[in-house]
Amino acid sequence: MGPPGAGKGTQATGVAEHFGVPAISTGDIFRANVSNGTELGRKAKEFMDAGEYVPDEVTNLMVRNRIDEPDAEPGFLLDGYPRTLAQVEELDGMIKHTGHSLDAVVVLTVDSEELVQRLLQRAETDGRSDDTEDVIRRRQELYIEQTEPLIEVYREHGILIEVDGMGEVDEVSERIFKALQDVNES
């Protein structure tokens, strides 16, 4: 977890590789569906372009189908999901059904000035259609309103790990590996 620009996508790929599990990014799956012009992509596009969350029913079903695939059988890392309380509940149910348990929730913390700089830079390099100033602002608002409260939920569950997301990509990765290693060993 972490606000837009915290480095979730970048770190998710490296961490998943390190642990030999697939990184399941809801944002990436939506973007691939938009590019391929699928029914799911058509449903998601208007919400994504406005910086809004895709409705829970659509997102939940997509994640449920994805974690049922064979490569996710040994475990998986979710990037960008859950983002709402309804998704937290749905994920609990899905995970019970697969026989897994949620080992850890990693939150990347980054100061707000750095977030803006990173997003503006990404707008130049990646050309994501939702990296315009208004849309970035809306995504940040939604994160604070709907997603940040999940941090307390997972803290109460005792599985929250807060990691300093400032600094070089490799430094942040090392912090995450170390924190997750400690979880594995405890």
126 or 185: CB nearest ligand AMP: 126
Taking a C-beta distance cutoff of 8 angstroms, is the pair 147, 84 a contact? yes
- Region of residue 51 (left: phi > 0; alpha: psi -120 to 50; beta: else): left
Q: Which of 2, 3, 4, 22 binds ligand AMP (CB under 6 A)?
A: 4
The yes or no reply on residue 80 touching ligand AMP (CB under 6 A) is yes
Nearest Cα residue to 16 out of 97, 83, 71, 87: 71
Q: Restricting to residues 104-143, which ones interact with ligand AMP according to CB under 6 A? A: 130, 139
User: Smaller CB distance to ligand AMP: residue 52 or 92?
Assistant: 52
Catalytic residue among 122, 138, 155, 178: 122
Complete DSSP assignment for 93-153? HHHHHHT-----EEEEE--HHHHHHHHHHHHHHH--TT-SHHHHHHHHHHIIIIITHHHHH
Please identify, among the stretches 25-33, 64-72, 99-107, 154-162, the one whose residues bind ligand AMP according to the rule CB under 6 A: 25-33
Specify the stretch interacting with ligand AMP by CB under 6 A; choose among 53-61, 100-108, 119-127, 150-158: 53-61
Q: Exactly one of 45, 64, 118, 128 is catalytic; which is it?
A: 128
Could you give the CA distance from residue 171 to residue 168 in angstroms, rounded to a whole number? Answer: 5
Q: What are phi and psi of 21, to 5 degrees?
A: -125, 160
By CB under 6 A, name the one of 12, 23, 54, 163 that touches ligand AMP.
54
22 versus 27: smaller Cβ distance to ligand AMP: 27
Residues that bind ligand AMP (CB under 6 A): 4, 26-27, 30, 47-48, 51-54, 59, 80-81, 83, 87, 130, 139
